[in-house]
Amino acid sequence: MITSKETEERNTKMMRGVILPGNSTVEFRELPIPQPGKGQVLVKIKASSICGSDIRAINREHLGTGDEKYRNVIAGHEPCGIIVSVGECCKRFRIGDRVT
C-alpha cells in the first residue's frame, strides 16, 4: 500500500509533461525533475501555451529531421513560472524570481 507520505516524496522527485513522441500523438508522462547545470535555472511551470509550431509537430508537418525534429520533446516552449533552483555561476536570477 502506498502512503500519502510516499506519494508526496515521489511527487517532489518527479514532474509531469506532455511529450511529442513524433507519431502524430501526444503523451502525458511523469519524468524525473532535472537539476540545473552551470548557469541554468529550474523553473516550476505555472502555465505553458501550445503554439503553432507545437501543433505542426503534433500533425507531423515537421518531418523529424534537422533543427525542428520534435521527437520525444516536452510540448510548449512559451512557459511562465517561478525559479525553484539555480545552478552554479548563476548570478542574475534567484530562487523565487518569476519567469514570464
| Residues with pLDDT less than 70, the chain | 1-11, 60-70
pLDDT of residue 23: 78
Q: Which residues 6+ apart lie within 8 Å of 39 measured at CB?
A: 87, 88, 89, 90
pLDDT of residue 42: 96
- Three cell numbers, residue 28: 502525458
62, 56 contact by CB (below 8 A): yes
- Three cell numbers, residue 60: 507531423
pLDDT of residue 94: 96
Order the strands of the 78-86 sheet from edge to edge.
Answer: 41-49, 78-86, 98-99
CA 97 to chain centre: 18
pLDDT of residue 45: 94
Q: Domains for the chain: give ranges and CATH numbers.
A: 14-99 (3.90.180.10)
Whether pTM exceeds 0.75: no
Quickly count: other Cβ atoms within 10 Å of residue 62's Cβ.
19
pLDDT of residue 51: 83
pLDDT of residue 95: 97
